[in-house]
Amino acid sequence: MIRHITTVSLGAFVASAMIHGVAMAEDSEADIPSLSYETVLSDLSDPWDMAFLPDETMFFTEKCSGLSVRLPSGDVNALLGMEDTEGYSTTADDLFCYGQAGMNGVTIDPEFEENRFVYVYSASNLETPHTNRVIRLTVNDDFTDVSDRVDIIEDIPYKQEDSDHPFGDAGAHNGGRIRFNPGDGHVYVTTGDNHNGEIPQDPTSLGGKVLRVDRDGEAAPDNNEGGDFDPRIFTYGHRNVQGIAFHPDTHEAFVAEHGPWHSDEVKALTAGGNAGWDPRPNVGDRGDCPDDYCGYMPNQMEGMDPEERRAFMPMTDLERFPDAIQPAWDNDGLSQGMSSAVFLTGSQWKDWDGRLAVGFLGIGFGDTAEGHRVDVLDIADDALSVEVTTMDLPVPAGRFRSVVQGPDGNLYVARDEGEIYRIIPE
Amino acid sequence: MHRQLFLMIGTVLALGVVPAQADDVAAGETLYAESCVSCHGSAGRGMASFPALTGRSADYIVERLEQYRAGERVGSNTGLMAPHAAELSDDEIANLSAYISEEFQ
């Protein structure tokens, strides 16, 4: 069951007003924070992800530029540039962007104080076909440069050729979020299906998966049941996961995943689990599909009822995979570009303390509204239902690519258009 | 979204304001904010899978929008662009093209 409090119904008991950029909320039943904001950085190029040290030092990636760091003073140092960039301390000419691919996620080693390790996820042309890689870097003492690059995962597939699909250019569906789980100390890596029908259910491919490895890229123990499975695979059968977060109490992993013109999904992961996405042709009562990928069928270029799409090409196919991981939420059957997710923690978030914030890129297709927003999910203990509240955001609507809570307890939100905002609850 | 635009135009007409003319940059700006900005951005730089519009001539934009409106397949984002272009009049295409080519150099 999905219990959904929409912004409309919420409006019945929440009076909201925008006063000098401050969203004021009054509510006789729920204790919801008022939100104001500051612009931390602007004029960036497709900011993709952020990661913080305790002193508010912020590493951030730009998809076609590279890795930089914003110091607590506000100064920004450009650390690792991609091909054709200037002004970076170090440049890696094999790192490139094309379409959706480029430099994506960034995370910091839990033992950064000792080892100075940061990690980025990026497309690389060191091999052909090209691949996505998880790259470990060592940051120098004054945060002006990085060195000692080690590619701890080299073989995440990259879409090399264009195909006959929406967004069908090369470089599509990379996943790309990387996060350490404070519960087990391992790094989790989300990947995508490359518009390739075979990849998600292929136990040997790292695409369409969530990987779990140590800081050297070695598989975590007990990821899956073995057999043909690559030992680094934690869960499989995913489409394009761009969000992963860990419950603040249980450390259970939750992913947020783009849907295929329907059904963005949030789900709790279990080791070895199948998320149920299988876009191969000639399975599940489907016939041939364009370029052997049924992901947008049965009508991939025109709008149609999302429910009909779901029946034809389910995001989680419980008929063929009865044990597949069921979603806690499917965005009411719609796809609006669900991207990253983070659990909000701290009393400053009032009733939202412990709830999952989910950012949406927003994409309107057919009769689906664009839906640029950040939602707050109260996930049931069994992770099979949610209550949803939409944040009354004080910032301009846009493609919200990344949501990260900073050490100051505020929510940092990156917009594709070029900003990183600090959302301040009061 | 487009319906809202027509309603707005209808309201303006009812108030006796002079309707937008072809190559009307201001009208193009309004339409861009309604239908284009969320993918191509307020500076026309594009983002994610959506291309930049900077440096494009008015003729180029007109030609592309007319192709989308005619149902031609232009590229991998045709499925997204075609519904937006389908409802555009010749004047609206001219206004959008004038705005984009003048604003996003």
Question: Which domain CATH number covers A124?
Answer: 2.120.10.30
A17 three-state secondary structure: strand
The model's pLDDT over A39-90, given as tens digits with 9 standing for 90+, comes to 999 999 999 999 999 999 999 999 999 999 999 999 999 999 999 999 999 9
pLDDT of amino acid A28: 56
Q: Which residues of chain B neighbour A366 with C-beta distances below 8 Å?
A: 83
Q: Chain B residue closest to A166 (CA)?
A: B76
DSSP-assigned beta bridge partners for residue B87: none
Q: How far apart are the first and last CA of chain A?
A: 32
Q: Do A364 and B78 touch (CB under 8 A)?
A: no
| Cβ contacts of A298 within 8 Å, gap of 6 or more | A304, A308, A309, A312, A313
Whether residue A305 lies inside any domain: the answer is: yes
Tell me the two tokens of residue A312.
Answer: 């034809």
Cα A128 to chain centroid distance, Å, stands at 26
CB contact under 8 A, B38 and A167: no
Beta-bridge mates of residue A413:
A403, A421
CA A252 from chain centre, in angstroms, equals 16
DSSP code of A93?
Answer: T
Report the alpha-carbon distance of residue A265 to residue B98 in Å, rounded: 41
Interface contact flag, A46 B47, Cβ < 8 Å: yes
- B74 CB neighbours in chain A (<8 A) are none
| Nearest chain B alpha carbon to A162 | B76
pLDDT attached to residue B21: 54
Contact B76 A372 (CB under 8 A): no
The answer to whether residue A121 is domain-embedded is: yes
Buried b (16+ CB within 10 A) or exposed e, A391-418: bbbbbeebbbbbbbbbeeebbbbbbbbb
A19 domain residue, yes or no: no
Which token pair is A100?
């959706």
A363: chain B residues, CB-CB within 8 Å: 80
Contacts of B35 in chain A (CB under 8 A): none
Position B7 pLDDT exceeds 70: no
Domains for chain B: give ranges and CATH numbers.
20-103 (1.10.760.10)
Cα→Cα distances A250→A245, A253, A268, A275, A354, Å: 11, 9, 11, 20, 11
Name which residue leads in pLDDT, A187 or A15: A187
Question: Above 70 in pLDDT, residue A14?
Answer: no
In this structure, what are the phi and psi dihedrals at residue A44, rounded to the nearest 5 degrees?
-85, 170
Q: Which two tokens stand for residue A39?
A: 């612009």
Q: Which of B38, B41, B80 sits opposite A372 (nearest CB)?
A: B38
Angle between helices B58-69 and B90-103 (to 10 degrees): 140
- pLDDT category at B54 given cuts 50, 70, 90 is very high
pLDDT > 60? residue B48 = yes
Is the Cβ pair A302, B79 closer than 8 Å?
A: yes
Domain count along chain A: 1
What are the pLDDT digits (tens) for A198-257?
999 999 999 999 999 999 999 999 999 999 999 999 999 999 999 999 999 999 999 999
Per-residue tokens: A199: 């990849």
When the pLDDT of each residue in chain A is averaged and rounded to a whole number, the result is: 93
Beta strands in A215-299 (DSSP E): 233-236, 241-246, 253-257, 265-268, 273-274
Give the tens place of pLDDT for each residue, A120-178: 999 999 999 999 999 999 999 999 999 999 999 999 999 999 999 999 999 999 999 99
Answer whether A168 sits within 8 Å of B49, measured CB to CB.
no
**Beta A233-236 vs A131-139: how paired, if at all?**
unpaired
Residues of B with CB under 8 A from a CB of A: 1, 38, 41-43, 45, 47-49, 75-80, 82-83
In chain A, residues with a C-beta closer than 8 Å to the C-beta of B82 are 301
User: Can you tell me whether residue A332 is helix, strand or coil?
Assistant: helix
Mean of per-residue pLDDT scores for chain B:
82
Residues A100, A132 contacting (CB under 8 angstroms): no
Block residue for tokens 């404070």 = A182
User: Within a domain: residue A16?
Assistant: no
Residue A30 lies inside a defined structural domain of this protein: no
A141 lies in some domain: yes
Measured between alpha carbons, how far is A172 from A165 in angstroms, rounded to an integer? 10
Residue reference for tokens 């590229």: B75
Residues of A in contact with B49 (CB under 8 A): 99-100, 167, 169, 172
Which of A258, A397, A240 shows the shortest CA–CA distance to A334? Answer: A258
Q: Which residues of B are less than 8 Å from A417 in CB distance?
A: 41-43, 45, 47
- A interface with B, Cβ–Cβ below 8 Å: 45-46, 63, 99-100, 162, 165-169, 172, 300-303, 361-366, 370, 372, 397-399, 416-418
pLDDT per residue over A180-189, tens digit each? 999 999 999 9
Residue at A239 is within a domain: yes
ipTM: 0.75
Token pair listed for A243: 């969000």
Instruction: Please tell me the distance in Å from B82's CA to the nearest CA on chain A.
Output: 9
Res. B19: pLDDT tops 60: no
Domain with A91, as residue range(s), is: 37-425
Number of A/B CB contacts below 8 angstroms equals: 53
State the smallest CA–CA distance between residue A226 and chain B in angstroms. Answer: 36
Q: Which residue has the tokens 């370029």?
A: A291
Residues whose CB falls within 8 Å of the CB of residue A67, separated by 6 or more in sequence, listed in order:
A59, A60, A61, A79, A80, A103, A106, A118, A120, A137, A146
For the cut 90, the answer to whether the pLDDT of residue B83 exceeds it is no
Share of chain A above pLDDT 90, in %: 89
Does residue A70 fall inside a structural domain? yes
For residue A15, is pLDDT > 70? no
Instruction: Check: CB of residue A44 under 8 Å from CB of residue A416.
Output: no
